[in-house]
């Protein structure tokens, strides 16, 4: 059945992307506060404003979102056969909500967009997924929904005490000590936000929805889930948990970092034994996102810089991996690694793209993953050497499982005869993959293009967190070996 829906959606999302490029083009690095702000009153009781804006942290996440959607459309062009119109409607709704999450500066608006991402994503999984789609969709929905209720409770508490939802106003009120009863409630509030974000990230042991959701989701769903939705969790941790509750973040950092490191290692080990390609990539996300959380809670310039950068990297590389998995699924209707082997012969171009992305994902120097992981690890070492040591082992594991998978799929002889006649990438698929691969390379050799704006924003966040002034512009601040975070807190 021929239809114009993909074409129209592709055009819309491409225009959105092009328009979104004016954000980095006109962004003023180092300017304090948010930029491109829009603040219009919406509802007077409760006091809700349509308050949007970006800083160096959210800027690139918005662009990442608008960048990925057109490729998701390209990749779904032929794979959706029924209810095509609905599919693309849901995709654009999802894009709106995702951009909203990254830009909202009003806590209510943020919560609204946060919830709004849930419905289209759950429907994408449940309507267009594979065999166990309903189970996966419901699990996804309930996990996120239940967790975000706690965030809503925390938001309501803040509103009840401050009379505003405005992020900046609440932040100032907390810093100025003007919120009555804050000391008593702060830890609960921190946890309220934390649990919502931790499920989304997902942080071990709240990750169990992710493999199911990924395996069952259609390709475009997986790409956006891994590429953008998971980043909503790490973005939330950075923006709200660190932004609003720096002291509680410091108090709770040890166990959060412990969970992150468990996630890094556990995710990698589980990925290693997966017989299913998509599940393997899903568990690798658990591991990679553990790095992001680790960097965030290291409270160092390098760590947080790396965390933000790694969010973008993971969006590109894992997004591309899911696209590649989807391309293979379209040809063979299976993700089972046993079904493949020796694919490098019939599909050389595909194998090359897969290799580039694999290398980016395992963090080979000159690829984007290296920059992010290096920064995070150096931040972790600064925070505590043992964090760095343990997390660094994750890098080795990721090389193991990714290369192992690559070997199983592409090397050796073709074991399943039908694979001999698999067509290589067509023009549409190449169009979708070229930018991804190029970007993985460019982000690896020229990170400063992104880092300048990230670094300046993070530089203003870090001093508040560590409670001590940090040299303003530097990537790894090597003079501080170990921050006495924990000792400082216990002395309080």
Tokens of 216: 């069952």
Residues 159-178 that bind other proteins (CB under 8 A): 159-160
153 binds other proteins (CB under 8 A): yes
Q: Cα-Cα-Cα-Cα dihedral of 330, 331, 337, 341, to 10°? A: -150
> Interacting stretch for other proteins, rule CB under 8 A, among 13-21, 98-106, 119-127, 332-340?
119-127
Work out how close the CB of 285 gets to other proteins at its nearest, in angstroms, rounded to a whole number: 24
Q: Would you say 115 or 247 has its CB closer to other proteins?
A: 115
Work out how close the CB of 281 gets to other proteins at its nearest, in angstroms, rounded to a whole number: 24
Residues 14-73 that bind other proteins (CB under 8 A): 43-46
Work out how close the CB of 153 gets to other proteins at its nearest, in angstroms, rounded to a whole number: 5
> Interacting stretch for other proteins, rule CB under 8 A, among 3-11, 105-113, 196-204, 325-333?
105-113
Among 54, 123, 280, 454, binds other proteins (CB under 8 A): 123
Q: Would you say 187 or 345 has its CB closer to other proteins?
A: 187
How far apart, in Å, are the Cα atoms of 400 and each of 272, 313, 404, 406?
7, 19, 6, 10
180 binds other proteins (CB under 8 A): no
Cβ atoms of residues 326 and 222 within 8 Å = yes
Among 36, 77, 157, 182, binds other proteins (CB under 8 A): 157
Q: In Å, how far from its chain's centre is CA 448?
A: 20
Q: Would you say 132 or 473 has its CB closer to other proteins?
A: 132
**Which of 231, 208, 223, 234 has the alpha carbon at shortest distance from 136?**
208
186 binds other proteins (CB under 8 A): no
402's enclosing H/E stretch is helix 385-410
Cβ atoms of residues 56 and 458 within 8 Å = yes
236 binds other proteins (CB under 8 A): no
Return the percent helix, strand and coil in the chain, to nearest 5: 75, 5, 20
Work out how close the CB of 385 gets to other proteins at its nearest, in angstroms, rounded to a whole number: 41
Among 71, 111, 381, 410, binds other proteins (CB under 8 A): 111
218 binds other proteins (CB under 8 A): no
Q: Would you say 90 or 286 has its CB closer to other proteins?
A: 90
Cβ atoms of residues 165 and 105 within 8 Å = no
Q: Would you say 174 or 395 has its CB closer to other proteins?
A: 174
Work out how close the CB of 207 gets to other proteins at its nearest, in angstroms, rounded to a whole number: 20
Tokens of 59: 């800027």
Report the alpha-carbon distance of residue 439 to residue 270 in Å, rounded: 29
Contacts (Cβ under 8 Å, ≥6 apart) of 214? 222, 225, 226, 278, 279, 281, 282, 285, 322
Report the alpha-carbon distance of residue 55 to residue 76 in Å, rounded: 32
Counting every residue, how long is the chain?
492
146 binds other proteins (CB under 8 A): yes
Q: Would you say 153 or 464 has its CB closer to other proteins?
A: 153
Among 8, 92, 152, 464, binds other proteins (CB under 8 A): 152
Among 57, 137, 321, 454, binds other proteins (CB under 8 A): 137
- Which residues does residue 40 pair with via DSSP β-bridges, in sequence order? 50
- State the binding string over 330-369 for other proteins (x if CB under 8 A, else -): ----------------------------------------
Q: Would you say 185 or 464 has its CB closer to other proteins?
A: 185
386 binds other proteins (CB under 8 A): no
Q: Would you say 133 or 288 has its CB closer to other proteins?
A: 133
344's enclosing H/E stretch is none
Residue 328 gets the label, from left (phi > 0), alpha (psi -120 to 50) or beta, of alpha
Residue ranges of the alpha helices (H) in 297-367? 301-332, 348-362
Query: Tokens 């982000």 label which residue?
Result: 443
> Interacting stretch for other proteins, rule CB under 8 A, among 4-12, 64-72, 118-126, 434-442?
118-126
- Please tell me whether residue 483 adopts helix, strand or coil conformation: coil
Q: Would you say 216 or 455 has its CB closer to other proteins?
A: 216
Residues 436-475 that bind other proteins (CB under 8 A): none
Report the alpha-carbon distance of residue 443 to residue 53 in Å, rounded: 25
Cβ atoms of residues 454 and 371 within 8 Å = no
Tokens of 154: 């925390």
Residue ranges that bind other proteins, judged by CB under 8 A: 43-46, 83, 108, 111-112, 115-116, 119, 123, 126-127, 133-134, 137-138, 141-142, 145-146, 149-150, 152-153, 156-157, 159-160
């Amino acid at each position: 059945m021929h239809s114009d829906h993909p074409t129209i959606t592709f055009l819309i999302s491409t225009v959105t992307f092009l328009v979104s490029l004016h954000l980095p083009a006109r962004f003023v690095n180092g300017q304090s506060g948010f930029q491109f702000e829009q603040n219009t009153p919406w509802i007077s009781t409760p006091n809700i404003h349509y308050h949007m804006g970006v800083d160096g942290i959210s800027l690139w996440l918005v662009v990442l979102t608008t960048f990925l959607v057109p490729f998701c459309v390209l990749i779904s062009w032929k794979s959706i056969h029924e209810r095509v119109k609905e599919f693309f409607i849901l995709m654009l709704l999802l894009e709106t909500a995702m951009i909203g999450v990254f830009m909202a500066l009003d806590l209510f608006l943020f919560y609204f967009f946060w919830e709004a991402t849930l419905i289209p994503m759950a429907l994408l999984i449940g309507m267009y997924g594979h065999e166990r789609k309903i189970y996966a969709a419901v699990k996804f929905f309930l996990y996120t929904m239940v967790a975000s209720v706690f965030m809503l409770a925390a938001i309501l508490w803040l509103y009840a005490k401050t009379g505003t939802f405005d992020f900046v106003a609440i932040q100032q009120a907390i810093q100025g000590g003007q919120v009555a009863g804050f000391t008593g409630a702060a830890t609960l509030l921190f946890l309220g936000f934390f649990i919502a974000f931790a499920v989304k990230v997902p942080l071990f042991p709240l990750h169990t929805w992710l493999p199911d959701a990924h395996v069952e989701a259609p390709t475009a769903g997986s790409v956006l889930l891994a590429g953008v939705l998971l980043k909503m969790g790490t973005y939330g941790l950075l923006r709200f948990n660190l932004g609003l509750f720096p002291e509680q973040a410091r108090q709770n950092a040890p166990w959060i970092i412990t969970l992150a490191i468990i996630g890094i290692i556990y995710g990698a080990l589980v990925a290693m034994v997966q017989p299913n390609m998509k599940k393997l990539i899903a568990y690798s996300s658990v591991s990679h996102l553990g790095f992001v959380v680790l960097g965030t809670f290291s409270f160092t310039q390098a760590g947080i810089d790396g965390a933000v950068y790694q969010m973008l990297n993971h969006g590109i590389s894992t997004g591309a991996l899911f696209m590649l998995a989807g391309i293979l699924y379209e040809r063979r209707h299976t993700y089972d690694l046993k079904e493949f082997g020796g694919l490098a012969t019939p599909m050389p171009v595909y194998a090359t793209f897969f290799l580039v992305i694999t290398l980016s994902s395992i963090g080979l120097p000159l690829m984007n993953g290296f920059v992010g992981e290096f920064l995070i690890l150096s931040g972790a070492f600064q925070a505590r050497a043992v964090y760095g040591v343990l997390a660094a082992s994750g890098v080795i594991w990721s090389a193991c499982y990714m290369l192992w998978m690559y070997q199983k799929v592409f090397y050796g002889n073709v074991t399943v005869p039908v694979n001999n006649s698999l067509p290589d990438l067509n023009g549409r698929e190449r169009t979708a993959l070229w930018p991804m691969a190029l970007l993985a390379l460019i982000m690896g050799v020229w990170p400063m293009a992104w880092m300048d704006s990230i670094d300046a924003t993070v530089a203003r966040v870090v001093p508040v967190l560590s409670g001590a002034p940090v040299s303003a512009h530097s990537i790894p601040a090597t003079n501080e070996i170990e921050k006495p975070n924990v000792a400082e807190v216990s002395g309080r």
